[in-house]
């Protein structure tokens, strides 16, 4: 990077912020000077216009266009080929199966681990530090996490000293080093492990807060009844945090369905590890198969849709109770 580049970039930033300030300033000026007739409407329009215009260009129009593209072949004729491809071609089917494995494993395992951990550390000394350690992966990028775990999975040929933790352990027990990320189907599970590593912290933080929200009277009452710790956990804690459990499960499911960066960084979808979000990118932006990419985006949308609707319903019910 030369100094000129840096100056150019700073200039861009300042100009961007300045132009933005001018736009907002003008907007507010016109809102306050709106014509008397239909003044309320002018003001409303002024406040809503920027957001609505951006949403129309950035989400609404593209969503319909993607839907259209998924049914058009390269010369612009209507076709089902892209969806047929997605559900019959072996590599594409493998992508769908992988996505299902991901969404079956990541939410359940991370939630169970996060819940167990939250219960274990509840009211223990140093709870904050315990929390920070497991929660930290949540703050870093999936790309960073990908590099961290690639290092753990690193392979050196047999006989050389292993620098990856996994292979070092395998060799220490007298095994042969394994090319973890190239070994199908093991590699998919190793990528899933990375996502679990990240999401457990999220589950733990939410569930820990929920556990602290359970009235102490309930737990004391259960204690007086002579229950043991497991019974209290099963019959008091879990019912008490059911709402949070649902939110955690659905939130992690959505994040898992859309997982892209981990697969991209660690294997780029090779060795049969691709998932829908990654394949969508590969098809649309690497292989110039815009139709196929769009079809995969639609499939992703359909997969996410029921979970989001369910989530919104839960949220609405919670609010009604309040």
Interacting positions 16-45 with other proteins (CB under 8 A): 16-17, 20, 24, 28-29, 31-32, 40, 43-44
Q: What gap in Å lies between CA 284 and CA 292, rounded to an integer?
A: 7
Nearest CA-CA partner of 244 in 102, 114, 128:
114
Question: Considering only residues 96-125, where is the footprint of other proteins by CB under 8 A?
Answer: 113, 116-117, 119-124
Sign of torsion, CA 286 290 291 295? positive
54 near other proteins (CB under 8 A): yes
Question: Considering only residues 186-215, where is the footprint of other proteins by CB under 8 A?
Answer: 197, 200-202, 205-206, 208-210, 212-213
178 near other proteins (CB under 8 A): no
Instruction: List the one residue from 158, 165, 221, 287 that touches other proteins (CB under 8 A).
Output: 165
Question: Considering only residues 257-276, where is the footprint of other proteins by CB under 8 A?
Answer: 258, 260-261, 264-266, 268
Question: Considering only residues 130-159, where is the footprint of other proteins by CB under 8 A?
Answer: 130-134, 136-144, 146-152, 154
Q: What gap in Å lies between CA 276 and CA 96, rounded to an integer?
A: 6
Using CB under 8 A as the binding criterion, the count of chain residues that bind other proteins stands at 132
- Sole window of 74-82, 84-92, 95-103, 308-316 interacting with other proteins (rule: CB under 8 A): 308-316
Q: What is the Rg, in whole angstroms, of the alpha carbon atoms belonging to the chain?
A: 26
180 near other proteins (CB under 8 A): no
- Sole window of 14-22, 73-81, 82-90, 95-103 interacting with other proteins (rule: CB under 8 A): 14-22
Q: Please, which residue, 13 or 84, has the CB nearer to other proteins?
A: 13
| Shortest CB 252 distance to other proteins, Å | 9
| Shortest CB 26 distance to other proteins, Å | 11
Instruction: List the one residue from 4, 36, 157, 224 that touches other proteins (CB under 8 A).
Output: 4
């Amino acid at each position: 990077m030369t100094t000129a580049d840096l100056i150019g970039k700073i200039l861009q930033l300042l100009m961007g912020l300045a132009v933005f300030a001018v736009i907002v300033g003008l907007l507010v000026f016109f809102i306050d000077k709106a014509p008397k007739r239909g003044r309320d409407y002018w003001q409303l329009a002024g406040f809503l216009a920027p957001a609505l215009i951006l949403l129309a260009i950035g989400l609404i129009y593209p969503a319909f266009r993607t839907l259209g593209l998924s049914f058009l072949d390269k010369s612009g004729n209507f076709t089902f080929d892209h969806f047929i491809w997605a559900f019959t071609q072996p590599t594409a089917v493998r992508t769908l199966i992988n996505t299902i494995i991901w969404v079956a494993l990541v939410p359940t395992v991370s939630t169970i681990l996060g819940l167990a951990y939250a219960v274990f550390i509840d009211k223990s000394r140093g709870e904050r530090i315990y929390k920070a350690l497991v929660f930290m992966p949540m703050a870093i990028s999936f790309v960073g996490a990908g590099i961290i775990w690639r290092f753990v999975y690193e392979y050196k040929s047999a006989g050389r000293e292993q620098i990856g933790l996994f292979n070092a352990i395998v060799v220490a027990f007298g095994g042969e080093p394994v090319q973890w990320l190239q070994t199908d189907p093991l590699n998919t599970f190793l990528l899933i492990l990375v996502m679990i590593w990240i999401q457990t912290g999220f589950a733990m933080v939410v569930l820990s807060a929920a556990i602290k929200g359970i009235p102490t009277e309930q737990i004391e009452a259960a204690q007086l009844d002579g229950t043991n710790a497991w019974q209290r956990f099963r019959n008091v804690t879990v019912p008490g945090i059911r709402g949070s459990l649902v939110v955690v499960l659905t939130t992690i499911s959505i994040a898992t369905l859309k997982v892209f960066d981990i697969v991209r960084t660690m294997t780029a979808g090779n060795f049969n590890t691709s998932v829908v979000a990654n394949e969508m990118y590969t098809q649309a932006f690497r292989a110039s198969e815009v139709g196929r990419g769009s079809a995969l985006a639609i499939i992703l949308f359909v997969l996410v849709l029921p979970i989001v609707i369910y989530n919104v319903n839960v949220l609405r019910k919670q609010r009604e109770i309040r």
